Chain A
């Protein structure tokens, strides 16, 4: 043991400048903590390991929430996105979400610029090999180059690097990402500290030389004409937008895959980790869906100034020469050359049931985990955890109560709640269906839901806060107009509308009521707004207000349903409640409850691993107690 002192002192250390680490460091620093962001290479800050894209259904919601709280991902992608699209435009506003293709290298550069412009934030390059622990508390980190940094709180955000192992065909080698070293010592250090570790896997497709692609064969998919930004702070997206292309695999490709399936480490038994079902490799797709005669592919440019093209939908860990052959069998890619082959990677994750809702570990005070290490997958999933961990690291240093989000108010809350209660058995990705409150968690209400938290935490500056308040006032005013504008049977508009919609509108109808009728679109309401209101109203503000109106009935009904179903959730469990005295509760259940110490039955219901039977028993006893 060397007891040389520390080389540097910080309040907070964040390990890893991936998507989680960048948000964590930025938040902690802006909350006033002297923060070091220690990462393997300063040249890969904010690197997108896989698809150069941010957002999508549910993931776009997460980015909006990050932005509303005062995180940075939304702003960075708004400046570096090269193709913006609002998904599900034809469906209800609750399931719409923005997605953007990024210029991979501009994204990295912009992220680094953003971090470097943040006061209290100190970038340090190096590989962390150990955590320094004293008296059950984390005290700092040790680097491979022998430096030791001291801090009161540490956030681990090391992504796919812990014991990373890459597979391409039968070849395997340790790496964190292709071309980057794995993080082996730190993984062993976490195991030594007793953290339960599991193994997951993910994969990525080959990148092609765009000059060798016959673009004429593919169907163009243009950007939206009016791009919808991620950040509430972004007025408009002005950079040029590029086009992506859609193509398909074919039976020949599938046959080649089938004939060579033994070459895939996924099918030879070589890979032990569980991969995400929603991100299947092309091998998986062909094997699991033998009846599909083609699978969709997207050709996505990696940036403005490169001819590298991402072959979305073709994730594979086949040997490189076979990948080249398969690519050649795709129509339009007969001549296409692979620049970087695809691969699969296995890595360690830590069972997230070890975490508190604040993303602090229960084993070591002051130690936080965020991102892929917790069993999630995706940049957005990582970033939102980074934000929460960074906030709490700063609060921890100040000795203030930690911050959590609830399921009812945010997808971030859903994500963390799911992780810590249910753990993961495959990489966890966000879906809107994971929330029981989907209609209330819209992308365009993230600010209303979360900006007040962001302000209180000190992450929203005056300018952002004023913008938020202006929007809130605008929306309230608009809502009043929409509820107050009525057409009576005697009005000419009433007759015209009845005719146009072929509906009986009754004696009088307000714009708000009209909006709830089938086949009434926001554009129609816009037309019907009083002229002076219309002049001051954007279609997007109007859509938000109309969505509030349209969903309100459902949200109330759903709340009533949830309350009925969880009517016992508010039963209080006295702090001295003796679970051991409950006959029939197994020792395992008792231990789980004693560890979690739920305050209400609702919390008990969410204690990880509780069986229905055990809960029914607990409920009977709580009710008996009340009756007595």
Chain B
């Protein structure tokens, strides 16, 4: 009886590429490949590539010449027998090959099904499976690198010493409860407490990388605001270095909030251009303005643009007041013009606030603006140096673990009985375990017996 069937899918992204891969996974993978190659004796060496002709199973007509690789269970991505056909990249051709395999008895894989099988066969742990999803969705190279590190098990490897340290704390406390009659060393409360603080600090440090990690993964929403004609769309385009928004001399012609993803040092920034923030009788423009207010509420960072070549208008001042409570940067545009001055702006803007002078036309100051954006979200200097926490679930669990430990430490200091201190330690261990796998009571006992000589 077949526990699970054999699944097939094109596993390279849709679209025309140089090469397209069709992946087949399951017990019958090899059988189906034999039929597709019309070679009953096809017995490939695992992990070796060989060139073969793929044929339509019914007509025998040649479909493609492909490089065929066999990954033998359990040493494959899914843990099952896997065959990969590297074919020529035409979408039509790839579909034909998939179709041939379907007719031979394979089933079309559902989204994520290969990963699910890898999970089921213990080839991946939970955080690695999450990393695969992140990897697929990564929008910048840096985000992809982080996901790849996590997939490589780096998160589990980072957590393991924390878990080990926790176990080392649990062991003496647990032993002193369970083996009262044994000749165990006395508990050194101060030392245990110091180790607990150290552990809390390490967890908090890891948790703190989430801010940067989330930026990498989810990116930052930066929105350009300002009255019409100050040059928002021009800046938007300059940053994008491509013509997307229509630029006119007529006030109020940029009606839609246009969004585009840009890549600032590996951080995906969703840049949004808005219509001017101006009370307007024009219905169409009003709709744009409504959208703008929503965009303001939505943004992680506002780029408040004024025209530095003109005196500030009432409208400018109003906007400056309005954004005071949100995270924002002041941008004075048109620094290429003769009348440009930062002085007027300095008087209005709260003391010391940074003002960036730019010219959308010449590109002057845009680099400063980019850096200011990065600084404002306190992105790490080089986001790719260390492992970052990118997943909210992991962050939440780590915070809970750290809180549980802090409580345990307080109890330890109050000289509460060990079983109460242990509650927090076990909770923390369980939270950490939840991120990757689990720690069993058996592991704890094993530690106890290897640490202490116990038993009568």
Which residues of A approach B to under 8 Å, CB–CB? 51, 56-58, 87-88, 91-92, 94-95, 248, 276-280, 285, 288-289, 292, 294-296, 298, 312-313, 315, 422, 431-434, 436, 438-439, 518-519, 554, 557-558, 561, 565, 580, 582-587, 589-590, 611-614, 616-617, 620
Contact = CB atoms under 8 A, between A and B. Distances in A.
A518 B441 CA distance: 29
Nearest to A90: B417
Contacts of B414: 518
A51 B181 CA distance: 14
Nearest to B183: A296
Contacts of B119: 584, 613, 616-617
A589 B79 CA distance: 14
Interface string B422-456: 01001100100010011001101100010001111
Given A313-B456, A561-B430, A92 B116 contact: no
B120 A614 contact: yes
Contacts of B442: 422
Given A88-B177, A585-B3, 4 more contacts: A280-B454, A313-B456, A518-B415, A612-B122
Contacts of B12: none
B419 A279 contact: no
B331 interface: no
Contacts of A277: 445, 449, 454-455
Which of B124, B181, B444, B449 has the largest number of chain A CB atoms within 10 A?
B181
Nearest to B434: A565
B111 to A, nearest CB: 11
A612 B455 contact: no
A276 B126 CA distance: 34
B417 A95 contact: yes
Contacts of A554: 420, 423
Interface in B176-234: 177-183
B129 interface: yes
Contact of B121 (A432, A580, A582, A584): A584
B113 to A, nearest CB: 6
A439 B422 CA distance: 11
A584 B423 CA distance: 37
A51 B417 contact: no
The 3 closest A-B pairs by CB, nearest first: A584-B117, A92-B417, A587-B3
Contacts of B253: none
A565 B430 contact: yes
B456 A439 contact: no
A616 B120 contact: yes
Contacts of A557: 423
B456 A276 contact: no
B178 A585 contact: no
Interface of B: 1-5, 7, 78, 80, 110, 113, 116-126, 129, 174, 177-183, 414-420, 423, 426-427, 430, 434, 437-438, 441-442, 444-445, 449, 453-456
Contacts of B445: 277, 431, 433
Given A312-B456, A558-B423, A611-B122, A295 B183 contact: yes
Contact of B4 (A439, A518, A583): A583
14 contacts: A277-B454, A296-B183, A312-B456, A431-B445, A432-B177, A436-B426, A554-B420, A558-B423, A583-B5, A583-B110, A612-B438, A613-B120, A616-B129, A617-B120
A585 B438 CA distance: 20
Contact of B116 (A315, A434, A561, A584): A584
Contact of A587 (B1, B174, B177, B453): B1
Nearest to A616: B119
B181 A518 contact: no
B358 to A, nearest CB: 48
A57 B177 contact: yes
Given A289-B453, A561-B427, A56 B121 contact: no
A583 B113 contact: yes
A412 to B, nearest CB: 17
B3 A590 contact: yes
A56 B416 CA distance: 22
Given A95-B417, A433-B445, A586-B3, A280 B455 contact: yes
Nearest to A311: B456
Given A91-B418, A92-B417, A565-B434, A584 B120 contact: yes
A614 B442 CA distance: 21
B116 A583 contact: yes
A92 B419 contact: yes
Contacts of A280: 453-455
A95 B419 contact: yes
B393 to A, nearest CB: 12
A295 B445 CA distance: 20
B181 A87 contact: yes
A557 B403 CA distance: 13
A565 B428 CA distance: 12
B180 A87 contact: yes
A91 B187 CA distance: 13
Nearest to B421: A92
A278 B414 CA distance: 31
A381 to B, nearest CB: 15
Contacts of B78: 584
Contacts of A613: 118-125
A582 B177 contact: no
Given A433-B174, A613-B121, A583 B419 contact: no
Contacts of B125: 612-613
A409 B103 CA distance: 55
B180 A88 contact: yes
Contacts of B126: 612, 616
Contacts of A611: 120, 122
A280 B455 CA distance: 6
Of the listed residues B183, B416, B417, B456, the one surrounded by the most CB atoms of chain A closer than 10 A to its CB is B456
B399 to A, nearest CB: 14
A58 B420 contact: no
A609 to B, nearest CB: 12
Contacts of A518: 414-416
Most buried by A among B3, B7, B124: B3
Contacts of A439: 419-420, 423
Contacts of A313: 456
A285 B419 CA distance: 27
Nearest to A565: B430
- Which residue among A312, A585, A612, A614 has the maximum number of chain B CB atoms within 10 Å of its CB? A612
A612 B179 CA distance: 32
A298 B437 contact: no
Of A295, A584, A587, A611, most buried by chain B (CB within 10 Å of CB) is A584
B120 A433 contact: no
A276 B129 CA distance: 38
B116 A617 contact: yes
B419 A278 contact: no
Contacts of A580: 1-4
Given A87-B181, A554-B423, A298 B120 contact: no
Contacts of A434: 441
Contact of A279 (B7, B177, B416, B455): B455
Contacts of B178: 57-58, 95, 431-433
A150 B417 CA distance: 54
B453 A91 contact: no
A56 B181 contact: yes
B24 to A, nearest CB: 13
A585 B455 contact: no
A224 to B, nearest CB: 14
Contacts of A57: 177-180
B42 to A, nearest CB: 25
B453 A295 contact: yes
Given A94-B419, A580-B3, A613-B121, A433 B444 contact: yes
B455 A276 contact: yes
A578 B122 CA distance: 21
A519 B414 CA distance: 8
A557 B430 CA distance: 14
Contacts of A289: 453
